[in-house]
Amino acid sequence: MIISSPQSMQKKALKWLKAGKSVGFVPTMGALHEGHLSLVRASKRDNDITVVSIFVNPAQFGPTEDYGSYPRSLKMDLSALKLFSVDAVFIPDVSDIYPEDFQTTVNVGKLSQPMCGKSRPVFFGGVARVVLKLFNLVMPTRAYFGLKDYQQFLIIKQLIKDLNLPVIIVPRAIIREKDGLALSSRNAYLSKEERKIAPRVYAALELGKEAAKSGKNPKQVQRIIEDHLKKNFVIDYVTVADPLTLASLKTFRGKALLAVAVWLGKTRLIDNLLVNQDTH
Ligand code: AMP
């Protein structure tokens, strides 16, 4: 079932709520790939009802970013979702999500500042605002987010906690191509040549992980990742951070997040890896 109006979506959600059904929700921007579908699979497994939203959210793109050219493949997305028999695909119009007099902002503070927040200052505000609105329309029991967007996951988790939203957030592992490249709708931008180079992002993270395991400190690990990346990419950031606060680490203890964002031509790629320094 395709639902396009926010009112109809909310009405359906209320009906499910009244009937005592658990609802799993997978928010996406479409151009679906196996990463998205892994979230759908998890939702189908855990809930009575599964709702997928497809909405390219203009509020999370900066004025010079790729809102206009972001890949859109609604027909293919719908046939992929048909195979999963999801209960509803919510595909709202921009004008229904953001009517002319829309004026509310939602900002999660400190977690939105480092990493992607530095180079994309409007991004997380746009994400938090639309996710909160979608939660109010879908009223999910559980919402599924990929760890590919690790900072986004933490921000939504914080939003849920700070505002006591009645939603359980379920993180899911990053799905990768065989050569290590993290699946992303933006991979469609890569030329054949770039596609061959792109897996080196993950290779750099793996090198960083090895270095961390062999006793190098966070600064050294960061430098090793940077040295590897700068041969092929323009680096936006490389961080070795606390996976709960995203603060840069001075020493390794317990878990660490290795996260990067790079440019390959006109395509921005992000990826990350969690390292557990307790289990050598
Ligand atoms: P997007 O359509 O890019 O906004 O992504 C929608 C959801 O899919 C987000 O929770 C992403 O983190 C998740 N996602 C995107 N790529 C992957 C991937 N390669 N593996 C797992 N989840 C992913």
pLDDT digit string (tens) for 94-129? 999 999 999 999 999 999 999 999 999 999 999 999
Pocket test for ligand 1, best of 77, 120, 148, 267 (most atoms within 8 A of CB): 148
Closest ligand 1 atom to residue 149 Cα is 12
Task: Please state the atom number of ligand 1 nearest to the C-alpha of residue 32.
Answer: 2
CA of 34 to the centre of ligand 1 (A): 9
Place of tokens 């409007």: 122
Q: Quote the ligand 1 centre to 191 CA distance (angstroms).
A: 21
Tokens 């054949």 belong to: 192
| Whether the Cβ atoms of residue 111 and residue 158 lie closer than 8 Å to each other | yes
Position 279 pLDDT exceeds 90? no
Report pLDDT digits (tens) over 70-85.
999 999 999 999 999 9
Averaged over 199-226, what is the pLDDT? 98
Ligand 1: distance of its center to the CA of 18 in Å? 30
- Least Cα distance to 272 among 118, 123, 148 occurs for 148
pLDDT at res. 168: 99
For residue 39, how far is its CA from the centre of ligand 1 (angstroms)? 8
* Domain ranges within the chain, ordered by starting residue: 2-172, 185-273
pLDDT tens per residue across span 135-152: 999 999 999 999 999 999
Which tokens sit at 84? 């999963």
Integer Cα distance of 260 and 234 in angstroms: 11
pLDDT digits (tens, 9 = 90+) for 258-267: 999 999 999 9
Tokens of 33: 């790939």
pLDDT of 114 reads 98
CA angle 230, 273, 278 (to 5 degrees): 125
* Nearest by Cα to 240 from 254, 222, 215, 228: 222
Phi then psi dihedrals of residue 229, to 5 deg: -70, -35
pTM: 0.98
Q: What is the mean pLDDT of residues 229-257?
A: 97
Residue 182 has pLDDT above 90, yes or no: yes
Please report the pLDDT score of residue 277 as a whole number.
82
d(CA 126, CA 128): 6
Q: Which residue minimizes the CA distance to atom 15 of ligand 1?
A: 35
Spacing, Cα 214 to ligand 1 middle (Å): 31
SS3 37: helix
Class of domain 185-273: alpha beta
Share of the chain above pLDDT 70, in %: 99
Beta carbons within 8 Å of 133's beta carbon, 6+ residues apart = 97
Best residue among 25, 26, 28, 159 to mutate for probing ligand 1's pocket (most ligand atoms within 8 Å of CB) is 28
Which residue's CA lies nearest to atom 8 of ligand 1? Answer: 36
Q: How many CB atoms lie within 10 A of CB 20?
A: 7
Give residue 11's pLDDT band: very low, low, confident or very high (50, 70, 90): very high
Residue 36 CA, closest ligand 1 atom number? 8
The upper half-sphere exposure of residue 252, i.e. CA atoms within 13 Å in the direction of its Cβ, equals 26
Residue 215 pLDDT class (50, 70, 90 cuts): very high
Which of the four pLDDT bands, split at 50, 70 and 90, describes residue 42? very high
| CA separation, residue 128 to residues 82, 121, 154 (Å) | 28, 13, 11
Using the atom order of ligand 1, give the atom closest to the CA of residue 31. 2
Catalytic residues: 36
Ligand 1, residues at Cβ distance < 6 Å: 28-29, 35-36, 38-39, 145-146, 148-149, 172, 174-175, 182-185
CA distance 129 to 114: 19
3-state secondary structure 126-182: HHHHHHHHHHHHHCCCEEEEEHHHHHHHHHHHHHHHHCCCCCEEEEECCCECCCCCE
For 2-172, give the CATH class: alpha beta
Which residue in 177, 180, 222 sits closest to 200, CA to CA?
180
Q: Quick one: pLDDT at residue 262?
A: 98
